[in-house]
C-alpha cells in the first residue's frame, strides 16, 4: 500500500492510517499505526490507556529506506472495554482561546462519560466540538467508538 501511494500521489500528499483486525473468538485486536493518532482503550473502571506505536505516514518514504518500519501489535481485550479511534482533527480542534482540545481532554471526556453508550458518547464529543472556536474546524474530524 505504501509503495502504491508513493507512486500514485503527488509529493505533498500522505496518508495516516489505523488498521485493526479483531478476532472475537479469542478477543485479540491486532493493529498497526502509520502516522495516525494513537487509539484510546478504556477499561470497565473507566481508566483510559493509549495504544502506542510510532510508524511513519504512508506515501512519504520508500519501503527500502531503513527508517521505514511498520509493526503489528496486539492487545488482549476483555468484556466491557471501549476502543476509540479518531483523527487528529478531533484533538487539534481549538477552543475559544485557540488552545487545542488535546488527547488529555479527550481522555477526561471518556472517563467523565463512561456510562454513555457509544452513539451518545459520539454526540457528547460533537457537543464538545461545538464549544470550539467558531463554526469552522481547521481539519476533518472522524471518530469510531467500539464497545467490546
pLDDT of residue 42: 96
pLDDT of residue 138: 64
Report residue 143 as a C-alpha cell. Answer: 471518530
pLDDT at 38 over 80: yes
Fold of 2-147: Phosphatase 2c; domain 1 (3.60.40)
Q: Where are the domains of the chain?
A: 2-147
Quote the pLDDT of residue 6. Answer: 75
**What residues form DSSP beta bridges with 15?**
58
What pLDDT shows up at residue 107?
Answer: 95
pTM for this entry:
0.84
The reported pLDDT for the residue numbered 14 is: 78
Would you place residue 134 in the very low, low, confident or very high pLDDT band (cuts 50, 70, 90)? very low
Compute the mean pLDDT over every residue in the chain, rounded to the nearest whole number: 83
Amino acid at each position: 500500500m505504501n509503495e502504491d501511494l508513493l507512486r500514485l500521489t503527488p509529493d505533498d500528499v500522505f496518508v495516516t492510517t489505523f488498521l485493526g483486525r479483531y478476532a472475537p473468538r479469542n478477543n485479540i485486536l491486532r493493529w498497526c499505526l502509520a502516522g495516525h493518532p494513537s487509539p484510546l482503550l478504556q477499561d470497565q473502571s473507566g481508566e483510559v490507556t493509549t495504544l502506542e506505536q510510532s510508524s511513519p505516514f504512508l506515501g512519504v518514504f520508500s519501503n527500502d529506506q531503513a527508517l521505514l518500519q511498520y509493526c503489528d501489535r496486539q492487545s488482549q481485550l476483555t468484556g466491557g472495554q471501549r476502543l476509540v479511534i479518531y483523527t487528529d482533527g478531533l484533538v487539534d480542534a481549538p477552543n475559544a482561546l485557540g488552545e487545542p482540545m488535546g488527547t488529555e481532554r479527550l481522555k477526561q471526556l471518556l472517563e467523565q462519560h463512561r456510562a454513555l453508550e457509544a452513539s451518545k458518547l459520539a454526540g457528547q464529543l460533537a457537543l464538545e466540538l461545538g464549544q470550539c472556536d467558531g463554526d469552522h474546524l481547521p481539519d476533518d474530524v472522524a471518530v469510531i467508538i467500539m464497545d467490546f
